[in-house]
Structure formats: C-alpha cells, structure tokens
C-alpha cells in the first residue's frame, strides 16, 4: 500500500478540537492513518510541508460544471437573462454528448487547480449519452463529485404544469455507474423542486430520490416569489423535509422556513457572488445561521465568476458582516469590539458543512484519522501570505488559487508544486473551443 507522509505543515483540521496545529500527516492508500506532532515512516514518500498550510480540500455544494465551455459569457447578465440564454431551449439544450465531456473535464480541473476537491455537479441532462459523457469528464479529471442528474433544459420539462420526469433515466445511470459507495463519484438527483414544476412532480421526485437512496437537490426560495411560495413550510407539512434534501439559494425565505429546516433537516447552499450579481436576493448566510442552519458555499456558474472558493468565502463573510454592521450603524452603534461572524465559521461552511450537505462527512470535509485524504497545501512563502500571523484568517481573507501548491484526492496527488498533474491539456483545449463554438453557433446569444 502506498504511503505518503506530509511533514512539518501548519495543519488546519477543521474539527471542533482545535483551530490549527503544527503536525505531520501520514496517508496510507486513500486514508489518513496518523496525525501527530512528529511521524517517522521509512516506507513513505515524504512531502516537505514546511512553509505550507495543510487543510481539507474545499467542498463546493452547488456548481453547473459544464458551463466551463462558455466561461465568463454572462459578466453582465441578470438571472432572467441567464435563464433565457442558457435554458428553456437556449445554449444548454444545444450541447452534444462530447460537449458535456469536455465541459465537465475542464470545469472539474479548474476546481481542482483552485483546491476544490469535491463538487456537487448540478447538471441538466439532455440524454443518457450526455450523462455518460459528463460522468467520464469528472472521472478523467480525478475529482470527487456528487453527480446530480437533472431534467433536460428543454422547455417542456420546466413548465410548471408539466409532470414529465427524468428519474427513469437516472435509475438506468445508477445501475450502470453507481453500484459502489466506495468511489469518487456518487449519484444525486437534481430535481426542479416545487417552484419550477407541478407540486405532485416535486413530491414524486423527492420520493424517487429516497427510493434510490440518493441526495435530492433543488433551487428554491429566491427572486420575487421566494417569500410568497412557502415551499419549505409545505414540504414540512407533508413530512418531506430531511437531511437528504439540499436547497440552493434560499435568499428570500422566511425565518420560519429556516427554523423548520433546522428542526427537520436539510442543507442550504449559498452562492453569494452570483446571487448578489444576478438578483436572486441577499445571500442567506445570516438568515440561515440566525435560525439554526449552518450554510454551505458554492460557485454556481463560471459564466459570471471564477471557479474558486476563496472568492466565495470572502463574499459570504463580508456581505454578512456588512448587513449586520449597517443595522448597528443605523441604530447609532459602532460595530465591535468583535465582528459577529468569524473567518473560522466561513471556513467550516466551505469544508465540513459542505461535506455534511452532500452526505459525505464520514469520508471528507475535515482532516481526521480514518477519513479519506482529500488535502490541499497552500504556499505561505507567496508574497500575499508571508508572514503568516493567523492561518485561518489567511486562508479566508487573503489566499487565492495561485497559492494552492498541492492537491490530493483520496490520497492521490492531482497537483504538485503549483502544477496540475494532467497531461495533454493543450490538445484538449481545441475540443473545449469546438464545444463553445458549436453551442454558440446554434443559438442567438
């Protein structure tokens, strides 16, 4: 069994016991076997982690990964423009299976390069062939992912009166690709939810996900209808809430809705940068925390932002601090002496809370003996991180993707010395360009 020994790093384990420690980490195969002040193992490959922060890989709980093929197309798009351009017969419906392969491959590699070791890939699937190629892209990248199988982008599937469902194809994919829980890719069901389909359809899809034993994830509670739909209350009244439901955005739901999620289970994915830009509503970070729900973070769409979690942590933290500070100032009170939301809390949102939301916290999200070795190293010799005074503050407030020195997924190195360990990228870029040109040529964007 291959052994890797990470020596001399400043370890941020993201556990309740400690904030950071100086320690060595021994990886045996896919698993962390020891975390101790000093470890000696002559059989292990040694990685010198002096001048490195060693921490869990980031967990992105909501990303439309295929959109890497049209990255930054929507820098000035509102949510309404985004939906009309990409779905309901737009760009998303014009993708070929090979386009989904290359889009998912490059989207996943972008995530890994930035230290994101796990993503929930929320994908509208146009056919089983598209699903197979999307899966192959994630597999070839070497990322850990929940492949959330969604309804096609065809307009018929997104009509509120529609009872069309995509779950039969999802079951076929589950039988073919997701028989073992001990693999990097697990299956989820990306459902339209009660605000984008008929109520009976949403209930049926939630129940189907439970029959399949997978996470159900949906967009909910944002825009002008967020506070009037009362979707969470309706789900609770029908005894449908549970930890296997993931709700994305939730910007404009009520305090009562959040309290019900806290009481009955479920996770909330906040994608702060895109939400503030596009018009979903104010990020629900504080709304969740104040009502007993620990939120998770996601990038959402690289049509409008970058694919790293450093930016999302900063956006979530500063937006929430600004919201509370402004209330205090309006009351004639200067904020302080301590700000109400800490960098450590936001780091948890980007790691262990994301793992819990994806039902993977028994494997990932923190550095603990027995968990799988999804680990990243940040170079503290870089100008923006040197010298380190507060390691957690440096990760949340100062670091960027260029600081990511090394990335391990299940003990396997996918990035070392600042370089992805992936060959043939230059030739694959021509496939990415071809995918971009194809979808744009077949739409009026």
Average pLDDT over residues 199-205: 92
What distance in Å separates the CA atoms of residue 292 and residue 81, rounded to the nearest whole number?
34
Q: Give residue 155's pLDDT.
A: 67
What is the C-alpha to C-alpha distance for residues 285 and 195, in angstroms, rounded to an integer?
21
**Rounded-to-integer distance, Cα 140 and Cα 137, Å:** 5
User: Residue 362 and residue 369: Cα distance in Å, rounded?
Assistant: 11
Query: What pLDDT, on the 0 to 100 scale, is given for residue 191?
Result: 95
Burial classification of residue 132, based on how many CB atoms lie within 10 Å of its CB (0-12 exposed, 13-18 middle, 19 or more buried)? middle
Taking only the tens place, the pLDDT of each residue in 78-92 is 999 999 898 877 898
pLDDT score recorded for residue 443:
84
CA distances from 89 to 93, 161, 191, 438 (A): 5, 17, 18, 15
Q: In this structure, are residues 363 and 376 in contact, taking their beta carbons and an 8 Å threshold? A: no
Q: What is the pLDDT of residue 340?
A: 82
Radius of gyration of the chain (CA): 21
Q: Residue 159's pLDDT is what?
A: 62
Torsion of CA 91, 96, 102, 103, to 10 degrees: 20
Local confidence band at 224 (pLDDT 50, 70, 90 cut-offs): confident
Q: Which one is predicted more confidently, 225 or 271?
A: 271
What does the buried/exposed string (b/e) look like for 59-77 if buried means 16 or more CB atoms within 10 Å of the residue's CB?
A: bbbbbbbbbbbbbebbeeb
Cis peptide before 337 (omega within 30 of 0): yes
Residue 62: is its pLDDT beyond 70?
yes
Q: What are the structural domains, with CATH classification, of the chain?
A: 3-56+370-418 (2.30.40.10), 58-349 (3.20.20.140)
- pLDDT surpasses 60 at 161: no
CA dist list (Å): 60 to 165, 236, 246, 254, 348: 26, 26, 13, 25, 12
* Cα distance between residue 164 and residue 385, in whole Å: 52
What is the per-residue pLDDT across 248-301, written as a single tens digit (0 to 9) for each?
999 999 999 999 999 999 999 999 999 999 999 999 999 999 999 999 999 999
- Label residue 381 by pLDDT band (50, 70, 90): very high
What angle do helix axes 425-441 and 97-113 make, rounded to 10 degrees? 130
Q: How confident is the model at residue 160 (pLDDT cuts 50, 70, 90)?
A: low
Q: Helix 167-177 crosses helix 199-212 at what angle (to 10 degrees)?
A: 10
* pLDDT over threshold 70, residue 368: yes
Q: pLDDT value at position 56?
A: 98
- Rounded distance between C-alpha atoms, residue 170 and residue 378, angstroms: 38
| Whole-number average pLDDT of the chain | 94
Measured at the CA of 324, the angle between CA 322 and CA 329, to 5 degrees, comes to: 90
What are the backbone dihedrals phi and psi of residue 260, each rounded to the nearest 5 degrees, phi first?
Answer: -70, -40
Number of C-alpha atoms within 13 angstroms, CB side, residue 45?
10
Q: Which position has the higher pLDDT, 229 or 402? A: 402
Model pLDDT, residue 444:
77
* Contacting residues for 280 by C-beta, under 8 A, at least 6 apart: 79, 222, 223, 249, 251, 274
Distance CA 4, CA 51 (A): 18
For residue 70 the two structure tokens come to 């049209």
pTM over 0.85? The answer is yes
By the 10 Å C-beta count (0-12 exposed, 13-18 middle, 19+ buried), 389 is classed as exposed
pLDDT for 306: 96
Angle at which helices 128-141 and 97-113 pack, to 10 degrees?
30
């Amino acid at each position: 069994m291959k052994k890797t020994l990470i020596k001399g790093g400043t370890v941020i384990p993201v556990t309740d016991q400690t904030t950071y420690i100086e320690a060595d980490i021994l990886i045996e195969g896919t698993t962390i076997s020891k975390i101790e002040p000093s470890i000696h193992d002559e059989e292990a490959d040694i990685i010198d982690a002096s001048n490195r922060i060693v921490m869990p890989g980031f967990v992105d709980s909501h990303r439309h990964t295929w959109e890497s093929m049209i990255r930054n197309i929507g820098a000035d798009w509102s949510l309404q423009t985004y939906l009309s351009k990409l779905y309901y017969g737009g760009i998303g419906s014009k993708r070929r299976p090979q386009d989904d392969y290359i889009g998912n491959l490059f989207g996943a590699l972008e995530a890994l390069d930035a230290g994101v070791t796990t993503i929930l890939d929320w994908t509208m699937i146009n056919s089983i062939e598209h699903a197979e190629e999307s899966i192959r892209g994630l597999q070839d990248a070497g990322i850990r992912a929940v492949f959330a199988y969604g309804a096609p982008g065809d307009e018929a599937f997104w009509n509120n009166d529609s009872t069309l469902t995509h779950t039969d194809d999802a079951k076929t994919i589950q039988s073919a690709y997701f028989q073992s829980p001990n693999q990097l890719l697990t299956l989820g069901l990306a459902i339209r939810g009660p605000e984008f389909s008929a109520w009976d359809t949403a209930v049926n899809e939630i129940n189907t996900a439970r029959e399949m034993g997978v996470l159900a994830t949906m967009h909910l509670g944002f825009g002008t209808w967020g506070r009037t739909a009362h979707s969470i209350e309706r789900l609770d009244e029908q005894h449908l809430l549970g930890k296997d439901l993931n709700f994305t955005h939730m910007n404009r739901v009520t305090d009562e809705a959040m309290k019900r999620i806290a009481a009955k289970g479920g996770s909330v994915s906040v994608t702060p940068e895109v939400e503030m830009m596009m018009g979903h509503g104010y990020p629900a970070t504080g709304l969740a925390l104040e009502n007993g729900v620990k939120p998770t973070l996601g990038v959402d769409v690289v049509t409008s932002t970058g694919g790293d979690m450093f930016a999302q942590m900063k956006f979530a933290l500063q937006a929430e601090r600004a919201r509370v500070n402004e209330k205090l100032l309006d009351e004639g009170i200067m904020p302080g002496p301590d700000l109400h939301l800490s960098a450590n809390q936001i780091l948890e949102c980007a790691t262990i809370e994301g793992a819990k939301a994806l039902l993977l916290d028994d494997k990932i999200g923190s550095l603990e003996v027995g968990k799988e070795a999804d680990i990243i190293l940040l170079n503290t010799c870089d100008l923006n991180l040197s010298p380190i005074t507060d390691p957690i503050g440096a990760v949340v407030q100062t670091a960027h993707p260029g600081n990511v020195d090394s990335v391990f997924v299940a003990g396997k190195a996918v990035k070392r010395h600042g370089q992805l360990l992936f060959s043939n990228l230059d030739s694959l870029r021509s496939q990415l360009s071809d995918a971009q040109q194809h979808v744009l040529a077949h739409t009026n964007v």
